[in-house]
Structure formats: structure tokens, C-alpha cells
């Protein structure tokens, strides 16, 4: 099961993934309902790190590599290799600066799409006076998706920019970088998460762990995503935030 010496957190995560919690007293392993297991994404990362010798990740929608990134601290603190993909050119430069001391991280200024080529994205440039910092994180293929934030930030529509950027399909990404296994695939694609999971070639390669945003999915879409992942053998659970799910291949 474990290919490295597991941390206590990894062992606890293994138990929780199988429906148990650890106790200090005999019988130590106690059956528990999922809501009482307190399984976090960091627990799952520790579990996966312990059961692989070569930890490889892919992050779609990396932004600057630090802000609101559930995997950032983990991969920067351990022996990891991976690919971080960010479409916005200005934010990509920030990503490069933030991760310049990690030579085993491959950074791509592109967007994942169904096919490789080029496509316009819509975004709010960073640093605009009067706009919250988080508005720079809502780049999307969908103009309507960006515009709908007008309800939260009146006037934001006037600042939306458009830029055509390179796109790459998951198959071409895997081929170009000779990816044979993925320990963690993290997706934050501003309303495109369900579509990204539809495009990923699970028949070819199954990432051991998935982490993705569900905020912009309808209830029906959310359930379809979960059902599809279960059909590939994943255990699917809500992640740390109600807006995220994680899936683990056991």
C-alpha cells in the first residue's frame, strides 16, 4: 500500500477513506459516518504522497501559484514534480516569479481546451483601482461567466478584457510532457470544471486524486460529474470547502 514511510496523517487518511476513524484506545479503528471522519484535502495529499515514489501533479488554472491554491503549500514543501497551467499572460509572469526556485515545476502559459489551438479568454486585469483583488482570478472562456460577477462587483463589466491565447488538449499535454501517471489533478477553471472533467481521458490515465471546484455547477451537473467519476472507480467527497470536491482512486 505505502511506498514511503507514511506519516501519521497518511495512516489516518487511509483509515478515513475506508470509513473508519482512529481512536487512542482499543479497538483503535472505529466505523464512522462520512460526515464524522473530518477528511481534509491535506489528509488525502499525505496519503497519496506516501503511496507513490514519484509524486507528480497537474494544476489547471494555477493563477499565481500561491493565492487560494489548496495544493500550493504541499507541493512546495515536498519532493514533487508537476505542471502548472495558467492562461492569463500577466498572471503567468507572476506565477513564474513565485515559483522560480522550483526547477521541477513546468509552467505553461495556456488554457486547457477540448482541442489544441487558440481561443479567446475573458478576464479582468489585475491591479484595477476600486476592484477587489479576487476579480483577477475569474478568467474564463465564457464572457457570460465573467459578466455575472457584476452582481457582486457593480461596474466590473466595463473592465473585462479579451485576449486570444494558446490552448492545449489533455491528450496533447500528456504526450508533450511524457506523462505516464498523475498523483493529483487539480482544476480551477471558472465555470468550466465539469467540462474539463468531461474532456479528461480517464480511459487512458486515471489520476490518483482529483480536486475541482463545484461552485458554478448546477445540482444536476454536479451529480453527473460525481456519477461519472464513481464509474471510473473514484470515491468522491466534498473537500475542505463546500465549493470544492475531491475524488480518490482507491
pLDDT score for 36: 58
pLDDT computed for residue 136 by the predictor: 94
- What confidence score (pLDDT) does residue 72 get? 97
pLDDT average, residue stretch 16-20? 80
Q: Does residue 214 register a pLDDT over 80?
A: yes
The burial of 63, by beta-carbon neighbours within 10 Å (0-12 exposed, 13-18 middle, 19 or more buried), is given as buried
- Alpha-carbon distances of 70 from 62, 201, 210, 212, rounded to whole Å: 10, 23, 12, 10
pLDDT of residue 27: 46
CA–CA separation, 88 vs 97, rounded Å? 14
Q: What is the pLDDT of residues 145-197, one digit of tens each?
A: 999 999 999 999 999 999 999 999 999 999 999 999 999 999 999 889 999 99
How confident is residue 14, by pLDDT bands cut at 50, 70 and 90?
confident
The phi, psi pair for 23, rounded to 5°, reads -120, 155
The chain-wide mean pLDDT, for the chain, equals 92
In whole angstroms, what separates CA 2 from the centre of its chain? 23
pLDDT tens digits, 35-46: 556 789 999 999
If you compute the radius of gyration of the chain from its CA atoms, what whole number of angstroms results? 19
User: Structure pTM?
Assistant: 0.92
Q: Tell me the per-residue pLDDT of 218-240, one tens digit each, with 9 for 90 and over.
A: 999 999 999 999 999 999 999 99
* Per-residue pLDDT at 209 exceeds 70: yes
DSSP secondary structure, 185-223, as one string: EEE--TT-HHHHHHHS-TTT---SEEEEE-TTS-HHHHH
Tell me the per-residue pLDDT of 48-100, one tens digit each, with 9 for 90 and over: 999 999 999 999 999 999 999 999 999 999 999 999 999 999 999 999 999 99
The fold of the 54-116+181-249 domain, in CATH, is Rossmann fold (3.40.50)
* Angle, in degrees to the nearest 10, between helices 8-17 and 41-50: 110
Evaluate if residue 13 carries a pLDDT over 90. Answer: no
Give residue 248's pLDDT band: very low, low, confident or very high (50, 70, 90): very high
Q: What is the reported pLDDT for 17? A: 85
Residue-level pLDDT at 16? 83
97-111 pLDDT per residue, tens: 999 999 999 999 999
Amino acid at each position: 500500500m505505502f511506498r514511503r514511510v507514511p506519516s501519521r496523517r497518511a495512516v489516518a487518511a487511509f483509515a478515513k477513506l475506508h470509513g473508519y476513524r482512529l481512536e487512542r484506545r482499543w479497538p483503535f479503528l472505529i466505523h464512522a459516518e462520512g460526515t464524522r471522519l473530518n477528511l481534509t484535502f491535506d489528509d488525502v495529499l499525505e496519503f497519496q504522497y506516501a503511496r507513490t515514489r514519484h509524486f507528480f501533479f497537474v494544476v489547471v488554472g494555477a493563477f499565481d501559484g500561491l493565492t487560494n491554491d489548496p495544493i500550493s503549500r504541499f507541493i512546495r514543501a515536498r519532493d514533487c514534480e508537476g505542471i502548472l497551467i495558467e492562461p492569463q499572460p500577466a498572471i503567468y509572469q507572476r506565477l513564474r516569479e513565485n515559483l522560480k526556485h522550483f526547477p521541477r515545476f513546468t509552467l505553461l502559459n495556456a488554457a486547457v481546451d477540448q482541442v489544441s489551438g487558440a481561443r479567446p479568454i475573458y478576464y479582468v486585469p489585475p491591479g484595477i483601482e476600486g476592484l477587489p483583488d479576487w476579480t483577477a482570478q475569474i478568467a474564463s472562456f465564457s464572457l457570460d461567466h465573467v459578466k455575472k460577477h457584476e452582481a457582486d462587483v457593480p461596474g466590473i463589466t466595463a473592465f473585462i478584457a479579451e485576449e486570444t491565447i494558446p490552448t492545449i488538449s489533455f491528450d496533447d499535454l500528456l504526450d508533450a510532457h511524457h506523462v505516464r501517471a498523475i498523483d493529483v489533478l487539480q482544476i480551477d477553471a471558472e465555470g468550466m470544471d465539469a467540462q474539463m472533467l468531461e474532456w479528461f481521458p480517464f480511459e487512458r490515465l486515471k489520476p490518483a486524486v482529483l480536486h475541482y471546484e463545484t461552485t458554478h455547477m448546477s445540482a444536476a451537473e454536479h451529480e453527473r460529474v460525481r456519477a461519472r467519476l464513481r464509474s471510473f472507480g473514484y470515491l468522491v467527497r466534498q473537500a475542505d470547502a463546500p465549493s470544492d470536491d475531491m475524488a480518490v482512486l482507491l
